[in-house]
Structure formats: structure tokens, C-alpha cells
Homo-oligomer: A and B are copies of this chain.
Amino acid sequence: MAEGGQGGGEALLFLTDEQLRKGIEAMFFAYRGFTADPDRILEKHGFGRAHHRAIHFIGRSPGTSVNNLLAILGVTKQSLNRVLRALIEAGLVESRVGRRDKRERHLHLTPAGEALERELSDAQRARMRAAYRAAGAQAVAGFRTVLEAMMDGEQRRQYLALREASP
């Protein structure tokens, strides 16, 4: 179908409500699959999704400040703080007082934190890899394109900022 060439075929785009609804439901079910593996691992360690998100983005941007993490995660600082405290107590995250600005705390994963990060992202990558393989390269490109278009402006800005960091 849609051999419209990479022109992409705006012309072929018949968007019935039913098709849109399928997209919505696909997001719902796929997101559950997307979080299923990490959830199982986290439970073993007594953590939840909030901890996963913190670990992910600290691992992604070592030395990030609490405020920066706050902006990415879109939660209140009090909520993040609880999560962070648990991770620091468990010895997975280290919080270093800023050298230039002592109000800031710079966050890093400890070796144990890196190990859990790897365990979590290995699982998630394995699922993503399988899905990508099953779908093919063109599908993958389309997948990313639609997801980016679905973000709010601010979210897309943050997403692309992460992208820059490691192109």
C-alpha cells in the first residue's frame, strides 16, 4: 500500500475518526508494553516508575541539576525530591553540591546506579529493538516522526536538546 514514494502522500491521507481512534488505542496498549519490562525489574528492587525516569535522565545527562531534571520530568520538586532521596539512600545516585553555585546539586549515578540503569534500559531496548526489527526501517522512521509531532512544543524542545547531546 501507499507506494506513494517518500513524498509521503499527503494526498493519500484519509483520516477517518475510526483510524484516529485506532492510533489512540495503539498508543494506550503499546505504552503498557513499553513499561512492562522495567516495571517487573523495578519491583524486584522496590522502586517504581518515578525512580526509573530519574535514573534514566540522570544517566543520560550526568551532573544535571535538580532543576533541570524537574523541567524534563514535569513534576513538582517535592515529588522529585522524595524519589531522589530514596535513590541516594539506596546508594544509586550521588548528589554533589555545586562548585560554582552552592545552591545547586549535581546528580550522578554511582556504579550501582549505572548497573540498574543498564539492566532497565537493556530490557527496554530489547523490546524496542524487536519491534523495530519486526516493523522495518521505514516504519521506524515513521514511528519517530509521528511521535515527535505528537509532543507539545516544550516537550519537543527538551527531547531535541537531549538529542543534540549525543547525535
A46: Cβ under 8 A from any B Cβ: no
Contact check, A30 vs B129: say whether CB atoms are below 8 A apart.
no
Contact check, A136 vs B9: say whether CB atoms are below 8 A apart.
yes
DSSP class of A's interface residues: helix, strand, loop or mixed?
helix
A89: Cβ under 8 A from any B Cβ: no
Contact check, A30 vs B148: say whether CB atoms are below 8 A apart.
yes
A contact residues vs B (CB 8 Å cutoff): 1-2, 4-10, 12-13, 15, 17-18, 20-34, 36, 53, 56, 60, 74, 121, 124-125, 127-152, 155-156, 158-159, 162-163, 166
Please state the number of chain copies in the assembly: 2
Contact check, B4 vs A151: say whether CB atoms are below 8 A apart.
no
Chain B residue nearest in CB terms to A6: B138
Contact check, B136 vs A15: say whether CB atoms are below 8 A apart.
no
Contact check, A150 vs B138: say whether CB atoms are below 8 A apart.
no
Bound complex: CA of A30 vs CA of B28, how far in Å?
12
Contact check, A138 vs B142: say whether CB atoms are below 8 A apart.
yes
Contact check, B125 vs A17: say whether CB atoms are below 8 A apart.
yes
